[in-house]
Structure 1
Amino acid sequence: MKILVTGGTGFIGRWVVKRLLQDKNQVWVLDNLANSSIKNVEEFVGNPYFKKNIQGDIKDEELLNEIFQLNDFDVCYHLAASINVQDSIDDPKTTFENDTIGTFNILEQCRKHHVKMVFMSTCMVYDIASNQVGISERDPLKPASPYAGAKIAAENMVLSYYYAYNLPVVIVRPFNTYGPFQKTGGEGGVVAIFINNKLNGKPQSIYGDGTQTRDLLYVEDCADFVVVSGYSDKANGHIINAGTGEDISINELALLISNKSTSIQHVEHIHPQSEIQKLLCNYSKARSLLKWEPKISLEEGVKKTEEWIKSTKETYKEEEGQ
């Protein structure tokens, strides 16, 4: 197929691109590089199925017109977004323009050219888990941050195009994704940050009391889920979760990663009002609809992620001649 991936140089995006190329799809990438790097897709240059990497913005309607008119896409995986909760609290306008208006722009192009759209949403749209079997797609939403609010608004627009125009769409809500190519700094995920702190001998700083839990999904499992949702006609018109069905507290995660080699300290939460205390995924819909199951355990995923972070540090030292 001919496929466009917005946000394709980002953390999850580059793994989605890799999986699509492995399946011998022709892939175009659109990214403004605001929260990613061209280096993330360097390994694909030279692959005959990797057609073009376009630096541009989903708010640029003229550019979108040109891209969709020139290429007869079958599917658009729409991953481009502002994803930082604190940034959305500090600057809600930017998050709304990127995540809601930008999504509308992509939707309009998909409608005009009848291109299936897979929309990357987030588990952050949910309220707390109402039971021990985890959060399902039927559980209540809670826009506790402008990021979550912008994603919910975008989800509703996406579904409206399914009902109003019969446009094939899928909304995917992965839970907390981690793995190689995730940033290790302030905008990164908790696993990457904890591993980086461990390798640098820094203490693990945990927001609040650390009892909040996360369902941690390895990035290659996440990418497989996202990709197969675009392949499946059965998924059209659906909202689908992906996770492991197991959660771990942030305190336990810090101990697992640190292996008692670094100290742990608790600090004041920067956005307690947007915290979801228990994030546990019920992915039974993905299992029944897509035949999808996560394959990588947390222990194995942490090991793979640590190996990658170590390799990037060694590469950086070699480049610097250290």
Structure 2
Amino acid sequence: MLTESVSARLEKLRDSRVVVTGGAGLVGSRLVRLLRRAEAEVTILDRLDAYPDDAHATLFGVDGLGADLVVGDICDRAAVRRVLAGADYVVHAAAYADVAACTRRPDIAFRANVEGTQVVLEEVAASDVRRLVLISSAAVYGNGEPGVRGPQVFREDQRLLPVSVYANSKLWAEHQTRLLLSGAGSPEYAVLRYFSVYGDPQVPKPGSHSWMVAWLSMQARLGRPMRLNGGGVQVRDLVHVEDVAAATALALVEEGMAGATVNVGTGVPTSVREVGQLIARHFPRVHFLTTPLPEGDPLGGYADTEQCRELLRWTPGIDVRAGVERYVRWLTRTPHAVPGWLSEG
């Protein structure tokens, strides 16, 4: 939640220039709106192809953010160099950000998440940027430590055992960031490991099994059974997009974040089935359908938030019950948000 203290700390960004790669997506658009409220000048570099049905404009409101939108690819070195000219800060959020899609097309994942990140890091290293914030994922933890039963708490310094192409690409990006930006005179960097981000106006993507609050809510809205992959036993740490945007903005300015890797989560484990039950309260006639667990879908865990509290000096403000209720209410007010491919399928 954006508190007064957070707003005051973000005043450091006034009149600075911030580049957000992937800034036209769910988190990126919320982040850009927050940066603009802090009176920073913002440039978005985004391909605008992550969602069908023109969701970037119709739902995320990219055209009205007051930012300079550059439609381009992070693999395009010339485009990256142009947007970085004169930049003070960079948030690198652009990625092929879907576990299932990366599993189906590891070649695309490699190009976007590895080659593209390499271009961004090289250009940042050669620039006058003060700090880069790399957006990583809790996927790097995989299923946690083998042999441990029940939900695990994931700590930033534990052994990392990714179980998907997507997670591998994110872990590589973390390592490469440290390698390229740890030398004397290099820009500072910080790494944020997002846990399960949700919140309006999030919409599902075709062929994806991520974004479970949006998926399950829309299925219920359409009068269809809510599918619980693997019976819904997977545990997630659901963190609202407004909280994620605030944490990301703070990572640009908090001194203690230089060179740090920090979980962005709530520290509260919630099973997929529990999320389904929260949604079902708003749709009394809905029922559940158990389906197989998709390949690469981790059993999950939840964030240790000590580093987040100490280094970001921040805690999230929206719990999962309130966040799910907000999403369902938004969906009820905005029925056109259900993608055409989903409503017709």
Q: TM-score, normalised by structure 1?
A: 0.90
Task: Give the secondary-structure state (helix, strand or coil) at the position aligned to 1:163.
Answer: coil
Q: Map of 1:54-73 to 2, 5 A cutoff?
A: 54-69=70-85, 72-73=86-87
Task: Give the secondary-structure state (helix, strand or coil) at the position aligned to 2:44.
Answer: strand
Q: Return the alpha-carbon distance in structure 2 between the equivalents of residues 189 and 67 of structure 1.
A: 30
Cα 1:249–1:241 change in 2 (3 A) is same
What one-letter code is carried by the residue in structure 1 that aligns with 2:113?
D
Alignment partner, residue 135 of structure 1: 154
Q: Return the alpha-carbon distance in structure 2 between the equivalents of residues 127 and 133 of structure 1.
A: 11
Answer with 23-32 or 252-261: which moved more.
Answer: 252-261
Alignment partner, residue 38 of structure 1: 57
Task: Give the secondary-structure state (helix, strand or coil) at the position aligned to 1:265.
Answer: strand
Contact 1:133-1:282 within 8 A present in 2 as well: no
Q: Return the alpha-carbon distance in structure 2 between the equivalents of residues 203 and 40 of structure 1.
A: 25
Contact 1:204-1:262 within 8 A present in 2 as well: yes
Alignment partner, residue 92 of structure 1: 106
Contact 2:114-2:169 within 8 A present in 1 as well: yes
Alignment partner, residue 262 of structure 2: 240
The answer as to 2:183 corresponding to 1:164 is yes
Q: Return the alpha-carbon distance in structure 2 between the equivalents of residues 282 and 12 of structure 1.
A: 21
Identity of aligned residues (%): 26
Q: Return the alpha-carbon distance in structure 1 between the equivalents of residues 337 and 298 of structure 2.
A: 37
Post-superposition CA distance 1:51-110 (Å, at most 9, x none): 4111111011121222223xx111011111001111111111110110111111111121
Pairing partner for 2:69 from 42, 48, 53: 53
Q: Map of 1:1-322 to 2, 5 A cutoff?
A: 1-36=16-51, 37-42=56-61, 45=64, 50-69=66-85, 72-115=86-129, 116-130=131-145, 134-165=153-184, 166-186=186-206, 187=208, 189-259=211-281, 260-271=284-295, 274-313=296-335
RMSD: 2.0
Task: Give the secondary-structure state (helix, strand or coil) at the position aligned to 1:276.
Answer: coil
Q: Return the alpha-carbon distance in structure 2 between the equivalents of residues 295 and 41 of structure 1.
A: 22
Cα 1:213–1:9 change in 2 (3 A) is same
Give the paired residue count.
310
Cα 1:255–1:236 change in 2 (3 A) is same
* Structure 1: gaps (5+ residues): 317-322
Task: Give the secondary-structure state (helix, strand or coil) at the position aligned to 2:317.
Answer: coil
Task: Give the secondary-structure state (helix, strand or coil) at the position aligned to 1:114.
Answer: coil
Q: TM-score, normalised by structure 2?
A: 0.85
* Structure 2: gaps (5+ residues): 1-15, 339-345
In the TM superposition, residue 40 of structure 1 has moved relative to its aligned partner by: 4.5
Task: Give the secondary-structure state (helix, strand or coil) at the position aligned to 2:300.
Answer: coil
